[in-house]
Amino acid sequence: MEADLLIHSAAQLLTVAAQGRGPKRGAAMSDLGLIPDGAVAVRGGRIARVGPTAALRATVRAAREVDASGKVVMPGFVDPHTHLVWAGDRADEFERRLAGATYQEIMAAGGGIMSTVRATRAASLAEIVAQSRPRLEAMLAHGTTTAEVKTGYGLTLEDELKLLDAITFLAEEHAVTLVPTFLGAHAIPSEYLGRADAYVDLIVEEMLPTVAHLNYRLALVPDEDDVEEETVNYRPAARFCDVFCDEGAFTVEQARRILTAAKRLGLGLKIHADEFAPLGATRLAVTLRATSADHLVCTPPDQLQALARSTTVGVALPGTPFGLGQGKYMPAREFIAAGGALALATDLNPGTCWCESMPFIIALACRAMRLTPAEAIVAATLNAAHAVGLGQKVGSLERGKEADILILDVPDHRHLAYRFGGNPVQAVFKRGDLVAGSL
Ligand code: NIG
Ligand code: FE
């Protein structure tokens, strides 16, 4: 057969091939679908064939060949939980936390998320894009080829739309596939202090219908002569709705209202669950059949078990307790033992975890949560793809999937977890094109 690209002779080719249509759970998370001396052929931006080098070389004629001797070839990382788009920074808070203040004390005093909200509201769309672009570049350089991105630092309809526009703009100009999530329920804005339910009304009655129907609404009024309209036409609807359900943020009842309304509008559901306090958000995620429940640091055992038996993917964010200098992590081993589908994400954000690197998160997950390197890799690829609803398109090297491929300059996949603080990613292919690194 004819191919555009053949990457061959990899010391280890990790297909992370799925067993069925869903994510890998429990013991199956140890299966990387590893092919020694492996090769992958790409045609039309998709995976055409995967197998031993000898078999592919005998049958594939490729326009371009890449020798991956001594290297690991694997699917691009999917980062299923990021807050990529914001303005400013919170280095001052970081220093105050080192001196003893807690994240929630700072939040209660009007800092924390609200401090970034003030900076983001004051910034123009162009400024937000300019500040977020280097972070997206860093993500790609570290091997992320698909990422979920949340709004949540606007908290007015206009400012949340500005963040959706920033996500769209970056997605248009950049190789990384971005999945937009509406997180209007990230914090109770200071102008609604003591009136949280009124803010929930605003989310349910005005913000959600707008972010869920943007394409539809705008498609009804196409105006080809009007440049502004054309620009606006690019604005996509959010694909998911998320709520920060925790002490000092939204209650379970408020989260239920918001997520139920979002579901009715056709959005997928996500929830920041049990990061600081076990309010019952994980139970809510299972009841509402959310696509993912994220954080899960202090989830009670019965709810963790229920989550493991559900179709909801559990997303661990070990960079967050690390970033906060806390010693408590999601009990990921218990979750996997109960048959759960675990994914890993960075949680990239200016407050708790400014980290663009999935390789660092993998290294941390193996130490802090006792994952094996194979489990961590599955969690950062195929299972992460399922956590953003793209499990049939990306996350593994299987025939028909998008050719999002990494070449790592290490001889064995365990080096991804074993080493840390550097970047093992040598080259990144997105739909078959070299988009970062070099050969
Ligand atoms: O996932 N917990 C809520 N959201 C982020 C933190 C955001 C911030 O502090 O700016 C998180 O940890
Ligand atoms: Fe988060």
For 148-198, write each residue's pLDDT tens digit: 999 999 999 999 999 999 999 999 899 999 999 999 999 999 999 999 999
Decide: 151 in ligand 1 pocket, CB within 6 A.
Answer: no
| Cβ-Cβ contacts under 8 Å for 134 (sequence gap 6 or more) | none
User: Atom 9 of ligand 1 has which residue's CA nearest to it?
Assistant: 351
Ligand approaching nearest to the C-alpha of 352: 1
Percent of the chain at pLDDT exceeding 90: 92
Decide: 272 in ligand 1 pocket, CB within 6 A.
Answer: yes
The confidence band for 312, taking pLDDT boundaries of 50, 70 and 90, is very high
Does residue 6 surpass a pLDDT of 80?
A: yes
Residue type for position 246: D
Ligand approaching nearest to the C-alpha of 89: 1
Does residue 220 surpass a pLDDT of 80?
A: no
Place of tokens 């080259």: 427
Tell how far the Cα of 113 is from the centroid of ligand 1, in angstroms: 7
The per-residue pLDDT for 236 is 64
Does residue 233 surpass a pLDDT of 90?
A: no
The confidence band for 415, taking pLDDT boundaries of 50, 70 and 90, is very high
The confidence band for 235, taking pLDDT boundaries of 50, 70 and 90, is low
Q: Which helix (H) or strand (E) holds 159?
A: helix 157-173
Tokens, residue 116: 């970034």
pLDDT tens profile 272-304:
999 999 999 999 999 999 999 999 999 999 999
Does residue 214 surpass a pLDDT of 90?
A: no
What DSSP assignment string belongs to 313-369? EEEE-THHHHHHT------HHHHHHTT--EEE----BTTTB----HHHHHHHHHHHS
Q: Are 125 and 165 in contact (CB under 8 A)?
A: yes
244 Cα nearest atom in ligand 1: 3
Tokens, residue 363: 């290294």
Tell how far the Cα of 275 is from the centroid of ligand 1, in angstroms: 9
User: Atom 8 of ligand 1 has which residue's CA nearest to it?
Assistant: 351
Count the neighbouring beta carbons within 10 Å of the beta carbon of residue 120.
26
Decide: 244 in ligand 1 pocket, CB within 6 A.
Answer: yes
| Cβ-Cβ contacts under 8 Å for 155 (sequence gap 6 or more) | 117, 184, 186, 187, 189
Tokens, residue 186: 């990230």
Percent of the chain at pLDDT exceeding 70: 95
Decide: 275 in ligand 1 pocket, CB within 6 A.
Answer: yes
Mutate to test the pocket of ligand 1, among 181, 347, 353 (most ligand atoms within 8 A of CB): 347
81 Cα nearest atom in ligand 1: 1
Decide: 116 in ligand 1 pocket, CB within 6 A.
Answer: yes
103 Cα nearest atom in ligand 1: 9
350 Cα nearest atom in ligand 1: 10
Computed over every residue of the chain, the mean pLDDT equals 95
Mutate to test the pocket of ligand 1, among 106, 274, 298, 349 (most ligand atoms within 8 A of CB): 349
| Cβ-Cβ contacts under 8 Å for 76 (sequence gap 6 or more) | 143, 144, 145, 146, 381, 394, 404, 405, 406, 428, 429, 430
Does residue 146 surpass a pLDDT of 50?
A: yes
pLDDT tens profile 151-162:
999 999 999 999
Tell how far the Cα of 344 is from the centroid of ligand 2, in angstroms: 12
Burial label for 225, CB within 10 Å (0-12, 13-18, 19+), is exposed
- Whole-structure pTM value: 0.95
The per-residue pLDDT for 154 is 98
The per-residue pLDDT for 237 is 83
Does residue 225 surpass a pLDDT of 80?
A: no
Does residue 226 surpass a pLDDT of 70?
A: no
Ligand approaching nearest to the C-alpha of 323: 1
Alpha helices of 174-325 — where are they, by DSSP H? 196-202, 208-219, 227-233, 252-264, 281-287, 301-309, 319-324
User: Atom 7 of ligand 1 has which residue's CA nearest to it?
Assistant: 351
Tell how far the Cα of 368 is from the centroid of ligand 2, in angstroms: 19
Tell how far the Cα of 174 is from the centroid of ligand 1, in angstroms: 25
pLDDT tens profile 24-52:
999 999 999 999 999 999 999 999 999 99
Ligand approaching nearest to the C-alpha of 118: 1
Does residue 58 surpass a pLDDT of 50?
A: yes
Q: How far apart are the first and last CA of the chain?
A: 24
Tell how far the Cα of 423 is from the centroid of ligand 2, in angstroms: 23
pLDDT tens profile 88-116:
999 999 999 999 999 999 999 989 999 99
Rounded to the nearest 5°, which phi and psi values hold at 187? -155, 160
pLDDT tens profile 370-401:
999 999 999 999 999 999 999 999 999 999 99
Decide: 352 in ligand 1 pocket, CB within 6 A.
Answer: yes
The per-residue pLDDT for 215 is 59
The per-residue pLDDT for 32 is 98
